[in-house]
């Protein structure tokens, strides 16, 4: 009986959801056509869809991608209303990418796509994508309550109580599951019962550090007890004043008086047992450190004043968004003061100045060591296992230097405010003596990472010249053009190929070169798994990119040949572009600079928001890229535009959230 | 999911027992024997020591022809990898032919094996980068056997994101703890190690003690109350999707409360043990200080490079396993030993390659004859080395007297690996049961099952002995290679 009722409710909810999506789409369209701000107005888009696009789709696509077949989960026949069809940005983006690459329709399709139709279709999609959506009607997207990640917890406790980071590293909270991209995505930050137990343990240990003998402990106690009892200030008054100031920082907003009262009970109970002031204050620490206001980044749900699609967060919430985006820790005193004065939401100049200050601060290193490192999948280096027999020059020291090279490079982009396009190519690299020797770069001494000017003959510069990237996309005793190609598509271009079908080529791909197996060249061997129809579609895109990197061996060193045959570095992309070697690959990437930058923007926005992007975020991503183009894509301009964007500054208002 | 509920809901059986015992006594759960364990009872051990389950799993690349005998039957001279266990030959039960044949989505070879290893799931994979498999055998056992102990289960050792062996549910891996200090702290925070006096515990006096002595530390309780009140007040200000997240927090608070309850009840019983402990001596744990200096993370790097450090580490972890079972801190332990990316100079005495992962690949081929013989010998050496420490652990379990029976007699210990060979294989796993599991296993033999018999069938047998049995587990009833109605005949 109950089960039936539940099902009914769910069904009705689904219908309501669908309805509200329709309404949302309408609002979106009002945005597109009603109040276009610059860009393409696109009033004629629905009409052109009906007259020009739909017939093409019916001719060439719907056979496989219609309501009945839905190959690849894609139906191109969505809403009947052409105006709603226009708004399916995610679908059109997929169509554009596949058609532009020449990947769709496939060569063996029943009806080919005529060249003229292809042009018409792409032109319409391009206009539909470029149609601007006014900020006022933009959807800030779902906001997700986020727990502090392990790293954020450690840094926050360190700043809150001035505890040495090294001691806090030993708290051994569980690692967060990085999910698909970033470990700070709210959706994957679950809280298992054992995780809370660890926070309990951690709170006890932190209390022991604050009241221990470490050199910092006195300062830590001052953080907890900024106001001490004095002849004219009774103990309870001092406790209340200390608590108010400490909670302001721990909760990242001014505390409720009821909250202070609730906590003072702990103080009172200890006093009743005759504990001295400090010991009674110690009892407050644990309930604060495991409080949801500390462990989670809480933002208040608010109604929209004018029926708008978004509400701006308040100053305290914006301060926390800023500090966890840029620093991965709590706001500092300066930022809190700006929030207290209401400057962050009211004064764009003050906001910009504050972002610049924060970017220049050492704490912004987390953008390099956490954001960039997770984006470029640096943790794959942990499991990179170049064989010792084949790569005797590679060892733990080189491995570590390769990781530091990536950190140093991204931190240089930040500190010197370089154009982010330098991830494609640049005339410098970072290395210490050991790594420079490994790379064959002369004139570097010392164990410290340093910036080195390089020329074309050094074969480095940009992300794809970095040992960490090259070694972590290889197998133990050979390179993997497939892994490398996939890496470039995913990490640099933001177009990850779909995963291979279950169990295909998974287990045998890595089989060693045994007797009777060396009859083919490496490329012929690769060609095998790119020859069957089910594999070829993707491998035609993936493998040519990977082959262009064959000059780098499985441990990231440059080579001119393999042991017994010359390297084969050339390939043809599905678009017809020829690639030859790393230089050719860089040329292709430079030609797609906008796509590379837009992908970086998307990843940074994702990290800043702590959620995956949706199709509705696409106009925001594009706008951030366009705005930063005016400053040559300098690092700070991208960060600033992310901060200024609607999803960073706003939440969905009450009742607009989508239950997942 | 619904078929999993059987692990969580045994109320029917409890009621029957309550009627047998008289309701008044049965309410004083959960630290009385509240579960009818058919096997334990058959062994005459309701009041005696409980049955424990431990899994020691080593990394991949074992060499099966040196791991099992050419044919089944009573054990004669042991195969070379198992030879360190010769002293316990009569406690061994070698099982061959067991396999995982489930499907796999979007996983690499290590992940495919890692996810299936203890779950036997019919399908494993990743959705949006997050793993899914099925509940693992240790966690299924812990759902029942864990109700009566301080910790439901312990998962420890070296794993990585590719090898989350234990799953609490389909998509919830149970994290492994690598740092021995953290494990010790977790076991003995707020209590001191003591050997249980199983004879006395079987008598009703302990239950009385449990109800009369005062609660221990009210501070943690009031902390819980305070943050719960705060979370509830906060709930109304959040939007509905944020509320769901906060509800996770509230659920976790409830779980912590249960843990405090357990600790208190457990402490009352252990207070009596302190005055009148069981007959054996406590395992003496000495964690070398270098394992925490400057951090365990640092030491972990050393383990990968230096086999001597690696050996010290495995020994400490094995000692912790024995201590956990001896003190009845938990009745379910999983220990992951070894590491695919470790180096083994000195252990490997042939060839020039010491990197385990490389050796696994080179030493493996479609048929052993086609593999690189030197690398295969190196793999054999590494796995014989693992077995030395396992054998030391078995000797310790065998030396602990629990009042007429040894800890090994009261344990069902599985020694296995997450890959059946170095090529990410899942066919014909190494599987060795050690210990008579309170007389429910007839040891001293090798039993050969047909190739591809589901490994899940073994898990069904283990779970039944732990009182957590059910009609099936993993793919035991659904595998295309299902056999013996999901069971393994002839173990007892």
List pLDDT tens digits, range A170-191.
776 766 655 455 677 766 666 7
Q: Are residues B21 and B59 in the same domain?
A: no
Q: Is residue B492 part of a domain?
A: no
- Residue of A73, A166, A191, A378 to mutate when probing chain B, most B C-beta within 10 A: A191
How far apart are alpha carbons B159 and B166 in whole angstroms? 10
The larger pLDDT score, comparing residue A585 to residue A179, is at A585
Residues of A in contact with B360 (CB under 8 A): none
CB pairs under 8 A between A and B: 195
Q: Is residue B215 part of a domain?
A: yes
Residues of B in contact with A478 (CB under 8 A): none
Q: Is the pLDDT of residue B21 over 50?
A: no
> Per residue in A583-606, is it b (16+ CB within 10 Å) or e — as a string?
ebbbebbeeebebbbbbbbbbbbb
- Which of B234, B256, B276 delimits the end of a domain? B276
- Residues 152-191 (A) with a CB less than 8 A from some CB of B: 166, 169-170, 172, 174-175, 177-181, 186, 188, 190-191
How far apart are alpha carbons B383 and A542 in whole angstroms? 38
**B206 falls in which pLDDT band (50, 70, 90)?**
low
The separation between CA B63 and the C-alpha centre of its own chain, rounded to angstroms, equals 23
How far apart are alpha carbons B243 and B232 in whole angstroms? 10
Q: Is the pLDDT of residue B20 over 60?
A: no
pLDDT score for B211: 52
Predicted complex ipTM: 0.75
pLDDT score for B121: 96
List pLDDT tens digits, range B140-152.
999 999 887 888 9
Find the residue in A nearest to B176 (Cα): A174
Q: Is the pLDDT of residue B30 over 90?
A: no
User: What CA–CA distances, in Å, run from B278 to A411, B207, B282, B286, B411?
Assistant: 60, 18, 10, 22, 17
User: What CA–CA distances, in Å, run from B27 to A238, B15, B328?
Assistant: 48, 10, 22
A50: DSSP letter:
I
The average pLDDT across A633-651 equals 96
The average pLDDT across B37-61 equals 71
> CB B245 to CB A191 under 8 A?
yes
The answer to whether B416 and B432 have CB atoms below 8 angstroms apart is: yes
Tokens of A639: 């960060």
CB neighbour class for A45 (10 Å; exposed up to 12, middle 13-18, buried from 19): buried
Which span out of A172-186, B38-52, B320-334 was modeled with the highest average pLDDT? B320-334
Do strands B154-157 and B103-105 pair parallel, antiparallel, or not at all (unpaired)? Answer: unpaired
From the list B108, B128, B361, the residue facing A506 with the nearest CB is B108
pLDDT score for A562: 78
Q: Is the pLDDT of residue B486 over 50?
A: yes
Residues of A in contact with B106 (CB under 8 A): 499-500, 502
Q: Are residues B205 and B188 in the same domain?
A: no
The larger pLDDT score, comparing residue B419 to residue A443, is at B419
* pLDDT over 70, % of chain A: 81
Q: Are residues B93 and B233 in the same domain?
A: no
How far apart are alpha carbons A405 and A449 in whole angstroms? 7
pLDDT score for A31: 39
Q: Is the pLDDT of residue A525 over 70?
A: no
How far apart are alpha carbons A603 and A609 in whole angstroms? 10
- Residue of A17, A143, A154, A172 to mutate when probing chain B, most B C-beta within 10 A: A172
Task: Count the domains in chain B.
Answer: 3
pLDDT score for A172: 65
pLDDT score for A654: 80
- Residues 344-403 (A) with a CB less than 8 A from some CB of B: 382-383, 385, 387-389, 396
Q: B153 to chain A nearest CA, in Å?
A: 11
List pLDDT tens digits, range B68-112.
999 999 999 999 999 999 999 999 999 999 999 999 887 888 899
Q: Are residues B232 and B294 in the same domain?
A: no
Q: Is the pLDDT of residue B133 over 60?
A: yes
Residues of B in contact with A144 (CB under 8 A): 241-242, 245
Q: How much is the mean pLDDT over chain A?
A: 84
pLDDT score for A443: 87
Q: Is residue B90 part of a domain?
A: yes
Q: For residue A505, give every residue at least 6 positions away whose Cβ sits within 8 Å of its Cβ, in sequence order, or none.
A: A529, A535
Q: Is residue B445 part of a domain?
A: yes
- Residue of B143, B162, B227 to mutate when probing chain A, most A C-beta within 10 A: B227
Q: Is the pLDDT of residue B213 over 70?
A: no
Q: How much is the mean pLDDT over chain B?
A: 85
- Residues 206-245 (A) with a CB less than 8 A from some CB of B: none
- According to DSSP, the residues that pair with A572 across neighbouring strands are A578
How far apart are alpha carbons A33 and A46 in whole angstroms? 10
List pLDDT tens digits, range A102-149.
888 888 888 888 888 999 999 888 887 777 666 666 778 887 788 898
Q: Is the pLDDT of residue B1 over 60?
A: no
pLDDT score for A158: 96
Tokens of B308: 């001597």
Residues of A in contact with B240 (CB under 8 A): 657, 659
The answer to whether A156 and B106 have CB atoms below 8 angstroms apart is: no
User: What CA–CA distances, in Å, run from B205 to A83, A334, B270, B275, B321?
Assistant: 78, 63, 13, 14, 29
Q: Is the pLDDT of residue B134 over 60?
A: yes
**3-state DSSP of B45-106:** CCCCCCCEEEEEEECCCCCHHHCCCCCCEECCCCCHHHHHHHHHHHHEEEEEEEECCCEEEC
Q: Are residues B187 and B83 in the same domain?
A: yes
Tokens of B128: 């949006």
The average pLDDT across B390-410 equals 96
**3-state DSSP of A590-626:** HHCHHHHHHHHHHHHHHHHHCCCCCHHHHHHHHHHHH
Find the residue in B nearest to A193 (Cα): B252
The average pLDDT across A329-346 equals 96
For B345, half-sphere exposure in the C-beta direction (CA atoms, 13 angstrom radius) is: 6
pLDDT score for B128: 64
Q: Are residues B335 and B263 in the same domain?
A: no
How far apart are alpha carbons A363 and B468 in whole angstroms? 51
First CA to last CA distance, chain A: 25
First CA to last CA distance, chain B: 31
List pLDDT tens digits, range A597-627.
999 999 999 999 998 888 778 889 999 999 9
Q: Is the pLDDT of residue A527 over 50?
A: yes
- Which of B276, B303, B325 delimits the end of a domain? B276
Lowest mean pLDDT across A13-27, A56-70, A295-309: A13-27
Indicate the SS3 state at residue B417: strand
From the list A186, A258, A507, the residue facing B424 with the nearest CB is A507
Find the residue in A nearest to B360 (Cα): A512
Q: A652 to chain B nearest CA, in Å?
A: 10
pLDDT score for B18: 34
Q: Is the pLDDT of residue B2 over 60?
A: no
The radius of gyration of chain A from alpha carbons, rounded to an integer in Å, stands at 28
Residue closest to A145 by CA, chosen among A193, A192, A188 = A188
List pLDDT tens digits, range A647-656.
999 998 886 5
- Residue of A196, A298, A317, A403 to mutate when probing chain B, most B C-beta within 10 A: A196
From the list A186, A301, A385, the residue facing B237 with the nearest CB is A301
> CB A142 to CB B241 under 8 A?
yes
The structure tokens 């994508």 sit at A129
Percent helix, strand and coil across chain B, each rounded to 5? 45, 15, 40
Tokens of A37: 């701000």
pLDDT score for B41: 36
The answer to whether B178 and B298 have CB atoms below 8 angstroms apart is: no
Q: Is residue B114 part of a domain?
A: yes
Q: A175 to chain B nearest CA, in Å?
A: 9
Q: A535 to chain B nearest CA, in Å?
A: 14
Confirm or reject contact between A272 and chain B (CB < 8 A): no
Tokens of A237: 């008054």
Q: Is the pLDDT of residue B207 over 70?
A: no
Q: For residue B221, give every residue at least 6 positions away whose Cβ sits within 8 Å of its Cβ, in sequence order, or none.
A: B215, B257, B260
Structural domain range at position B367 = 38-196+281-486
Residue closest to A221 by CA, chosen among A207, A231, A200, A236 = A207
The answer to whether A246 and A223 have CB atoms below 8 angstroms apart is: yes
- According to DSSP, the residues that pair with B57 across neighbouring strands are B336, B416
Q: B223 to chain A nearest CA, in Å?
A: 5
Q: Is residue B479 part of a domain?
A: yes
The average pLDDT across A88-100 equals 81
DSSP E strands, A366-454: 428-431, 450-453
The average pLDDT across B19-39 equals 34
Residues of A in contact with B249 (CB under 8 A): 191, 196, 292, 295-296
Q: Are residues B381 and B473 in the same domain?
A: yes
Which span out of A285-294, A372-381, B16-25 was modeled with the highest average pLDDT? A285-294
Q: Is the pLDDT of residue B208 over 60?
A: no
Tokens of A65: 């991608």
Q: Is the pLDDT of residue A83 over 60?
A: yes
Do strands B130-132 and B73-74 pair parallel, antiparallel, or not at all (unpaired)? Answer: unpaired
The structure tokens 């953008």 sit at A367
Residue closest to B377 by CA, chosen among B350, B396, B337 = B350
The larger pLDDT score, comparing residue A583 to residue B30, is at A583
- Residue of A193, A375, A652 to mutate when probing chain B, most B C-beta within 10 A: A193
Find the residue in B nearest to A195 (Cα): B252
The larger pLDDT score, comparing residue B353 to residue A267, is at A267
pLDDT score for A563: 72
Q: Are residues B221 and B169 in the same domain?
A: no
Lowest mean pLDDT across A24-33, B365-374, B395-404: A24-33
From the list A502, A512, A659, the residue facing B240 with the nearest CB is A659
Residue closest to A289 by CA, chosen among A218, A213, A220 = A220
Q: For residue B474, give every residue at least 6 positions away whose Cβ sits within 8 Å of its Cβ, in sequence order, or none.
A: B102, B119, B120, B121, B122, B134, B137, B454, B455, B456, B459
Find the residue in A nearest to B249 (Cα): A191
pLDDT score for A509: 39
Residues of A in contact with B343 (CB under 8 A): 388
- Which of B248, B276, B304 delimits the end of a domain? B276
How far apart are alpha carbons A146 and A186 in whole angstroms? 5
pTM: 0.73
Domain regions of chain A by residue span: 2-137, 146-297, 371-499+520-591
- Residue of B153, B244, B358 to mutate when probing chain A, most A C-beta within 10 A: B358
pLDDT score for B61: 85
How far apart are alpha carbons A198 and A452 in whole angstroms? 44
pLDDT score for A37: 36
Indicate the SS3 state at residue B434: strand
Peptide bond into B294 cis (omega under 30): yes
The answer to whether A406 and A466 have CB atoms below 8 angstroms apart is: yes
Residues of B in contact with A178 (CB under 8 A): 129, 161
CATH of the domain at B119: 3.40.720
Which span out of A8-17, A80-89, A166-175, A408-417 was modeled with the highest average pLDDT? A408-417
The answer to whether B307 and B317 have CB atoms below 8 angstroms apart is: no
Q: A178 to chain B nearest CA, in Å?
A: 8
The larger pLDDT score, comparing residue A168 to residue A371, is at A371
Q: Which long-range contacts (CB under 8 A, 24 or more apart) does B281-286 make?
A: B281/B195, B282/B193, B282/B194, B282/B195, B282/B323, B282/B326, B282/B327, B283/B319, B283/B322, B283/B323, B283/B326, B283/B396, B283/B400, B285/B184, B285/B316, B285/B319, B285/B320, B285/B323
List pLDDT tens digits, range A226-244.
999 999 999 999 999 999 9
**A511 falls in which pLDDT band (50, 70, 90)?**
very low
Q: Is the pLDDT of residue A515 over 80?
A: no
- According to DSSP, the residues that pair with A651 across neighbouring strands are A311
Q: Is the pLDDT of residue B221 over 90?
A: no
How far apart are alpha carbons A84 and A22 in whole angstroms? 8
> CB B241 to CB A295 under 8 A?
no
User: What CA–CA distances, in Å, run from A420 to A368, A426, A459, A653, B239?
Assistant: 13, 10, 20, 34, 37
CB neighbour class for B439 (10 Å; exposed up to 12, middle 13-18, buried from 19): middle
The larger pLDDT score, comparing residue A130 to residue B302, is at B302
pLDDT score for A75: 80
The average pLDDT across A349-359 equals 98
Q: Is the pLDDT of residue B255 over 70?
A: yes
Q: Are residues B357 and B445 in the same domain?
A: yes
**A305 falls in which pLDDT band (50, 70, 90)?**
confident
């Amino acid at each position: 009986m109950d089960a039936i009722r539940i099902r009914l409710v769910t069904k009705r909810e689904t219908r309501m959801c669908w309805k509200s999506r329709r309404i949302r789409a309408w609002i979106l369209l009002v945005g597109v056509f009603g109040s276009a701000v610059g860009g393409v107005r696109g009033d004629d888009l629905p009409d052109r869809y009906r007259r020009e696009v739909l017939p093409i789709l019916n001719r060439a696509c719907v056979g496989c991608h219609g309501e009945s077949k839905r190959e690849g989960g894609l139906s191109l026949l969505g809403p009947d209303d052409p105006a709603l069809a226009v708004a399916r940005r995610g679908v059109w983006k997929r169509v554009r990418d596949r058609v532009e690459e020449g990947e769709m329709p496939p060569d063996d399709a029943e009806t080919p796509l005529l060249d003229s139709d292809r042009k018409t279709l792409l032109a319409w999609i391009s206009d539909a994508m470029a149609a601007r959506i006014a900020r006022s009607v933009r959807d800030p997207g779902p906001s997700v309550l986020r727990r502090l990640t392990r790293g954020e917890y450690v840094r926050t406790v360190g700043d809150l109580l001035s505890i040495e980071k090294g001691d806090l590293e030993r708290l051994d909270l569980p690692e967060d599951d990085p999910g698909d991209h970033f470990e700070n995505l709210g959706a994957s930050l679950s809280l298992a019962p054992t995780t809370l137990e660890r926070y309990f343990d951690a709170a006890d240990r932190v209390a022991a550090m604050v009241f221990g003998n470490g050199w910092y402990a006195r300062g830590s106690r001052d953080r907890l007890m900024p106001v001490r009892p004095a002849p004219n200030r009774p103990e309870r008054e001092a406790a209340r004043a200390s608590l108010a100031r400490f909670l302001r920082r721990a909760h990242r907003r001014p505390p409720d008086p009821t909250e202070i009262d609730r906590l003072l009970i702990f103080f009172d109970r200890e006093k009743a047992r005759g504990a001295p002031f400090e010991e009674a204050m110690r009892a407050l620490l644990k309930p604060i450190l495991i409080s949801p206001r500390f462990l989670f980044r809480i933002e208040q749900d608010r109604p929209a004043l004018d029926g708008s699609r978004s509400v701006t967060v308040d100053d305290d919430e914006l301060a926390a968004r800023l500090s966890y985006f840029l620093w991965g820790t709590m706001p500092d005193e300066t930022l809190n003061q700006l929030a207290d004065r209401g400057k962050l939401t009211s004064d764009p100049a003050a906001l910009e100045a504050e972002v610049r200050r924060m970017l220049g601060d050492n704490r912004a290193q987390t953008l390099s060591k956490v954001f960039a490192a997770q984006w470029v999948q640096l943790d794959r280096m942990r499991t990179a296992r170049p064989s010792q027999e084949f790569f005797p020059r590679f060892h733990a020291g080189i491995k570590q230097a390769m990781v530091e090279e990536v950190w140093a490079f991204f931190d240089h982009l930040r500190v010197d405010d370089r154009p982010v396009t330098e991830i494609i190519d640049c005339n410098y690299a970072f290395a210490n003596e050991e790594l420079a020797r490994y790379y064959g770069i002369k004139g570097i001494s010392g164990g410290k990472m340093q910036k080195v000017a390089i020329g074309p003959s050094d074969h480095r510069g940009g992300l794809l010249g970095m040992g960490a990237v090259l070694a972590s996309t290889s197998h133990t005793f050979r390179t993997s053009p497939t892994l490398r190609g996939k890496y470039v598509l995913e990490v640099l271009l933001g177009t990850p190929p779909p995963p291979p079908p279950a169990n295909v080529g998974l287990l045998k791909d890595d089989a060693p070169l045994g007797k009777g197996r060396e009859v083919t060249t490496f490329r012929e061997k690769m060609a095998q798994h790119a020859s069957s129809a089910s594999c070829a579609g993707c491998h035609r895109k993936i493998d040519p990119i990977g082959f262009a990197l064959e000059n780098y061996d499985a441990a990231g060193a440059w080579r001119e040949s393999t042991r017994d045959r010359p390297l084969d570095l050339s390939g043809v992309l599905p678009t017809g572009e020829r690639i030859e070697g790393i230089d050719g690959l860089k040329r292709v990437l430079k030609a797609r600079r906008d796509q590379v930058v837009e992908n970086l923007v998307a990843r940074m926005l994702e990290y800043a928001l702590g959620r995956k992007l949706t199709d509705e975020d696409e106009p925001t991503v594009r706008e951030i890229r366009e705005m930063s183009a005016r400053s040559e894509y300098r690092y700070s301009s991208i960060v600033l535009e992310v901060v200024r964007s609607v999803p960073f500054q706003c939440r969905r208002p009450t009742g607009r959230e989508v239950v997942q | 999911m619904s078929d999993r509920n059987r692990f969580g809901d045994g109320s029917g059986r409890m009621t029957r027992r309550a009627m047998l015992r008289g309701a008044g006594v049965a309410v004083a759960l959960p630290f009385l024997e509240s579960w009818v364990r058919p096997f334990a009872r058959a062994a005459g051990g309701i009041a005696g020591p409980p049955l424990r389950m431990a899994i020691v799993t080593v990394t991949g690349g074992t060499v099966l022809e040196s791991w099992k005998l050419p044919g089944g039957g009573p054990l004669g001279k042991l195969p070379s990898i198992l030879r360190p266990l010769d002293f316990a030959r009569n406690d061994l039960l070698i099982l061959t032919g067991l396999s995982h044949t489930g499907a796999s989505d979007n996983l690499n070879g290590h992940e495919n094996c890692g996810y299936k290893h203890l779950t036997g799931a019919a399908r494993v994979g990743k959705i949006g980068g997050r793993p899914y498999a099925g509940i693992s055998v240790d966690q299924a056992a812990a759902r029942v056997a864990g109700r009566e102990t301080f910790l439901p289960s312990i998962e420890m050792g070296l794993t990585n994101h590719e090898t989350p062996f234990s799953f609490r549910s389909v998509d919830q891996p149970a994290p492994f703890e690598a740092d021995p200090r953290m494990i010790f702290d977790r076991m003995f925070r707020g209590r001191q190690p003591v050997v249980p006096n199983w004879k006395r515990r079987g008598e009703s006096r302990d239950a009385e003690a449990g109800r009369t002595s005062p609660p221990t530390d009210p501070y943690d309780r009031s902390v819980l109350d305070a943050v719960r009140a705060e979370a509830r007040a906060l709930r109304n200000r959040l939007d509905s999707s944020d509320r769901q997240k906060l509800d996770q927090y509230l659920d976790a608070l409830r779980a912590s409360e249960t843990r405090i309850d357990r600790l208190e009840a457990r402490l009352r019983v252990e207070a009596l043990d302190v005055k009148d402990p069981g007959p054996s001596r406590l395992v003496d744990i000495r964690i070398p200080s270098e394992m925490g200096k400057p951090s365990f993370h640092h030491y972990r790097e050393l383990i990968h490079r230096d086999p001597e450090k690696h050996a010290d580490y495995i020994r400490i972890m094995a000692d912790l396993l024995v201590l956990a079972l001896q003190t009845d801190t938990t009745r379910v332990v999983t220990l992951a030993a070894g590491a695919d990316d470790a180096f083994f100079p000195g252990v490997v005495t042939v060839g020039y390659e010491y990197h385990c992962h490389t050796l696994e690949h080179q030493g493996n081929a479609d048929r052993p004859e086609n593999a690189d013989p030197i690398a295969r010998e190196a793999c054999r050496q590494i796995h014989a080395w693992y077995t030395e420490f396992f054998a030391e652990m078995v000797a310790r379990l065998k030396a602990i007297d629990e009042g007429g029976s040894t800890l090994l007699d009261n344990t069902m210990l599985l020694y296995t690996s997450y890959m059946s060979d170095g090529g990410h294989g899942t066919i014909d796993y190494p599987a060795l049961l050690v210990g008579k599991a309170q007389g429910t296993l007839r040891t001293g033999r090798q039993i050969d099952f047909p190739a591809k018999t589901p490994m899940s069938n073994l898990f069904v047998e283990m779970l039944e002995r732990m009182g957590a049995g059910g009609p099936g587990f993993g793919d035991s009833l659904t595998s295309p290679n299902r056999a013996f109605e999901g069971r393994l005949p002839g173990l007892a």
